[in-house]
């Protein structure tokens, strides 16, 4: 229903919608018919879009920093950019290709995660190889828990530090304890490196996803660095 604000009308009246644009009274006519075919392809697209939109909200602490520079250059939001960059990582079945998810994109030299472990007190320790670059660049580490649909961003450290630590949220550890008798986690073994005895002993079905990136001068960032933590 349209309402009067002085000489200006705002709202719907019949098939007309009244609004203001730059202080001027404007109106538009509602379409007589809206095409909404419920095809299988359209339903799959909607399902994937819903999934990626949810994940973008869960990972906003990371992409608001990691995609900021690129979004500004494209005159876009980081939410929209996250959805565009990651649309191929989702299926209509609800599966997500986590290793391919990008929370950062840019020209800054990256780094390599060498090890990651959570001790019995819930402290996450990640060591990384700087791989050159400016020693003053900041490394950001984002951990995502798909079971709880929650993530947190660790305090940034200089590239030269080579290690970042953070205390996991209590609810993450409680969830882990419910699925196993230990809350110690180790870096998921890579194909090129066999699992050590300690990793085989402590790994279990509880999975975290680690996403890191470097940020340098003028807020430019590196591409996403990914590792899975069991």
Structure confidence by residue, pLDDT tens digits, 87-96:
888 876 778 9
Q: Residue 194 falls within a domain, yes or no?
A: yes
Instruction: Give per-residue pLDDT as tens, 111-160.
Output: 999 999 999 889 999 999 999 999 999 999 999 999 999 999 999 999 99
Query: What Rg, from alpha-carbon coordinates, does the chain have?
Result: 23
Rounded Cα–Cα distance for residues 164 and 125 (Å): 6
Q: Residue 32 falls within a domain, yes or no?
A: no
Q: Angle 41-102-211 (CA atoms, 0-180°, nearest 5)? A: 135
Q: Residue 74 falls within a domain, yes or no?
A: no
Give the residues across from 187 on adjacent strands: 229
Confidence of residue 25 (pLDDT cuts 50, 70, 90): confident
Residue 50's pLDDT is what?
80
Q: What is the pTM of this model?
A: 0.72
Rounded Cα–Cα distance for residues 103 and 82 (Å): 7
Number of domains in the chain: 1
Confidence of residue 205 (pLDDT cuts 50, 70, 90): very low
Q: Residue 63 falls within a domain, yes or no?
A: no
Domain region containing 160:
96-229
The residue with greater pLDDT, 189 or 165, is: 165
Asked whether 225 and 112 are in contact (CB, 8 A), the reply is yes
Interval 184-188 mean pLDDT: 42
Supply the CATH number for residue 193's domain: 2.60.40.10
Q: Residue 22 falls within a domain, yes or no?
A: no
Q: In whole numbers, what is the pLDDT of the chain averaged over residues?
A: 82
CB-count exposure of residue 185 (10 Å: 0-12, 13-18, 19+): buried
Q: Residue 45 falls within a domain, yes or no?
A: no
Residue 201's pLDDT is what?
29
Describe the crossing of helices 78-86 and 40-58 by its angle, rounded to 10 degrees: 130
Q: Residue 224 falls within a domain, yes or no?
A: yes
Q: Residue 56 falls within a domain, yes or no?
A: no
The length of the chain is 230
């Amino acid at each position: 229903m349209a309402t009067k604000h002085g000489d200006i009308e705002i709202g719907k009246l019949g098939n007309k919608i009244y609004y203001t644009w730059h202080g001027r009274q404007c109106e538009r006519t509602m379409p007589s018919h809206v095409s909404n075919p419920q095809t299988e392809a359209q339903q799959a697209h909607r399902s994937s879009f819903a999934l990626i939109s949810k994940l973008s909200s869960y990972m906003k602490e990371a992409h608001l920093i990691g995609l900021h520079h690129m979004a500004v250059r494209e005159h876009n939001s980081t939410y929209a950019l996250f959805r565009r960059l990651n649309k191929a990582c989702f299926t209509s079945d609800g599966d997500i290709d986590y290793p391919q998810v990008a929370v950062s994109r840019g020209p800054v030299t990256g780094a390599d995660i060498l090890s990651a472990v959570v001790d019995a007190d819930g402290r996450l320790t990640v060591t990384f190889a700087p791989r050159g670059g400016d020693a003053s660049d900041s490394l950001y580490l984002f951990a995502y828990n798909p079971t709880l649909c929650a993530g947190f961003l660790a305090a940034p450290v200089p590239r030269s530090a080579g290690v970042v630590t953070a205390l996991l949220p209590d609810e993450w550890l409680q969830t882990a304890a419910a699925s196993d008798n230990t809350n110690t986690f180790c870096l998921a073994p890579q194909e090129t490196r066999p699992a050590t005895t300690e990793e085989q002993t402590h790994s279990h079905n509880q999975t975290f996803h680690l996403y890191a990136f470097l940020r340098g001068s003028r807020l430019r960032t590196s591409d996403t660095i990914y590792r899975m933590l069991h």
